[in-house]
Structure 1
């Protein structure tokens, strides 16, 4: 794999620091690394592959340097402003915010699922929502083998999905302080059936992201999808109960065999011996884990799945870096 010059935008944030860790873990082949953040964070030192880097303030001139790929995780407003600037200067932006996901001209990519859309990139590529990413790795092989009529998502999402403020609220809540710096209610010892703001249809923005992004990634606007997204008091890894109505009849063992051989997936399905995906076990790892696979006996061709992944790694940093790897492997940069 050829070496390229890489930038990390938002390098001092939770996902930004995980970018640096995943680059190191995967031995990503960069020649030069540029680290950008806000004026407040400029001058901080970050480390990747044993080397220290001084964080620079992000400005409109930042991309005048020789940069091939920029990994963005600095929020939607920053992405809306700076991604087009970088793209116009020949930099391929892989953006972790929601700013570009539903733009019809921007590929929304999970590398195990739809790498073919990368060939149409115009220097901006969107990383899907963390909860969408892990679901797609499981749903795509099922969609191809059996067809899908309907999906019911129920998610149990870690506080790290809210960034450092969500982690702070849980840390302090576990001490009995219960601050409300991030959430409308205390998160410690609680489950909050609200992630992001409510929209006019009664769904939250997070729930609509899952619905809309699933249709875009699977390239099927006719899919019937509903979702309920819940914030739970754990630090890392999102868990999802997914109920699917397939188009074709199936055998449960055939589903297990298919998923066990699918890229990016680890099958953990021996409930009699207490083996199924766990948030604590997934934390700090890159695969998507699937288990509790069983027929939905209330519905013809229905099946239930339990899906778990680290939301900061596979749900954000790792997926973005896998996109970068795919661009290099396919000579798309």
Structure 2
């Protein structure tokens, strides 16, 4: 016996990826519904070898459905997630709306699967894409040597801003080679093509951005509230795949060889770490893959118990759609228990 599954926001980049991954991982589906905004009603989306027609999210009755994967942004989640939860359908929300709600678990299944039993509002939150991949790499090392401090710089792809972000990068890239063409930035603050932008989301009073604040708050909620985190988040002209340079300071000694061995055995992690050309992962290597890739593992001799590493992942997958599907799988095994 399988589940009745809803994907809300099915025409967007993340929603389409959710449908792809549900099919790829053979999630036990008895019935599936693709939902979208009113302007996208009737749009066709793929689910394995099936074609689904999008229904109106605003009018959809969630009664009798088991789980809903939401990729509709905070405004859509605010309006429709409580309605779905009230109807008895557990919502896995990809927006930032519920991530910091103490009554809503924020889950990365490889890191804190036990939090699935803390659902009280019928809603589970999916973390920010840059946080998700980082904590997959951090948790096994934290279990061994207790991380005291994290300094992370991110190199985040255009797809973190959705399909519109990828389209803008593509159009700007073409325009660079066509002197008669100009593409003014609409999604990003300035031209992203052949550029990097040290600004993702809004600025806060302390000079950090909301994206940077998210990484701090979410790491504490998912892994350990005692960890100190400081982040600099940068948008780069890459279509898919987020990269992170991470510096760790541990309470206990942990050398790079042991860290490498721990990460090789960690769930969801793929270690590619040779001191040679192509002996490391890049965003191109991770596109379409489920794993979080870790490379450049090395001792930081400037601090006591310090370690550096490079972390890359497909942000549309592990950073969003895959993590949501993994939560649904966890929900099925631990809570719903029908599949």
CA shift, 1:60, in A, is: 5.0
Query: Could you list the per-position Cα deviations for residues 262-288 of structure 1 after superposition, in whole angstroms to 9, with x for gaps in the alignment?
Result: 000000000224311110010111100
RMSD after superposition: 1.1
Q: Which segments of 5 or more consecutive residues in structure 2 lack a partner in the other structure?
A: 176-181
CA shift, 1:63, in A, is: 1.3
Query: Could you list the per-position Cα deviations for residues 222-255 of structure 1 after superposition, in whole angstroms to 9, with x for gaps in the alignment?
Result: 3211000000000000000000101101221100
2:242 is the counterpart of 1:238: yes
Task: Quote the Cα distance in structure 2 between the aligned partners of 1:139 and 1:213.
Answer: 13
Task: Quote the Cα distance in structure 2 between the aligned partners of 1:68 and 1:311.
Answer: 26
Contact 1:178-1:187 at 8 Å conserved across structures: no
2:101 is the counterpart of 1:111: no
CA shift, 1:61, in A, is: 4.3
Query: Could you list the per-position Cα deviations for residues 63-85 of structure 1 after superposition, in whole angstroms to 9, with x for gaps in the alignment?
Result: 13x21000000110110111111
Q: Which of residues 248, 263, 269 in structure 2 aligns to 1:265? A: 269
Q: Which of residues 217, 221, 229 in structure 1 aligns to 2:222? A: 217
Q: Which segments of 5 or more consecutive residues in structure 1 lack a partner in the other structure?
A: none
Q: Which of residues 182, 185, 191 in structure 1 aligns to 2:190? A: 185
Task: Quote the Cα distance in structure 2 between the aligned partners of 1:51 and 1:154.
Answer: 41
Task: Quote the Cα distance in structure 2 between the aligned partners of 1:184 and 1:45.
Answer: 32
- Larger mean CA deviation between 265-274 and 301-310 belongs to 265-274
Q: How does 1:40-59 map to 2 (within 5 A)?
A: 40-59=39-58
Contact 2:283-2:313 at 8 Å conserved across structures: yes
CA shift, 1:164, in A, is: 1.6
Contact 2:7-2:70 at 8 Å conserved across structures: yes
Task: Quote the Cα distance in structure 1 between the aligned partners of 2:41 and 2:96.
Answer: 25
Q: What is the DSSP-based 3-state SS (H/G/I as helix, E as strand, rest coil) of the residue aligned with 2:92?
A: strand
Q: Which of residues 312, 320, 327 in structure 1 aligns to 2:324? A: 320
Contact 2:38-2:58 at 8 Å conserved across structures: no
Q: What is the DSSP-based 3-state SS (H/G/I as helix, E as strand, rest coil) of the residue aligned with 1:163?
A: helix
Instruction: Please report the TM-score for the alignment, with normalisation by the length of structure 1.
Output: 0.97
Task: Quote the Cα distance in structure 2 between the aligned partners of 1:111 and 1:277.
Answer: 23
CA shift, 1:45, in A, is: 1.2
Structure 2 partner of 1:229: 233
Q: Which of residues 272, 283, 286 in structure 1 aligns to 2:290? A: 286
Structure 1 partner of 2:69: 71
Q: What is the DSSP-based 3-state SS (H/G/I as helix, E as strand, rest coil) of the residue aligned with 2:276?
A: helix
CA shift, 1:332, in A, is: 4.0
1:28–1:194 CA distance, 2 compared to 1 (3 A): same
Structure 2 partner of 1:206: 211
Aligned length: 330
Contact 2:200-2:209 at 8 Å conserved across structures: yes
Structure 1 partner of 2:127: 128
- Larger mean CA deviation between 270-279 and 16-25 belongs to 270-279
Contact 1:178-1:188 at 8 Å conserved across structures: no
Q: Which of residues 73, 77, 80 in structure 1 aligns to 2:78? A: 80
Task: Quote the Cα distance in structure 1 between the aligned partners of 2:224 and 2:61.
Answer: 35
- Larger mean CA deviation between 229-238 and 39-48 belongs to 39-48
Structure 2 partner of 1:154: 153
Task: Quote the Cα distance in structure 1 between the aligned partners of 2:145 and 2:227.
Answer: 14
- Larger mean CA deviation between 280-289 and 171-180 belongs to 171-180
Task: Quote the Cα distance in structure 1 between the aligned partners of 2:318 and 2:275.
Answer: 25
Contact 1:60-1:82 at 8 Å conserved across structures: no
Instruction: Please report the TM-score for the alignment, with normalisation by the length of structure 2.
Output: 0.95
Query: Could you list the per-position Cα deviations for residues 79-110 of structure 1 after superposition, in whole angstroms to 9, with x for gaps in the alignment?
Result: 01111111111000000000000000000000
CA shift, 1:331, in A, is: 3.4
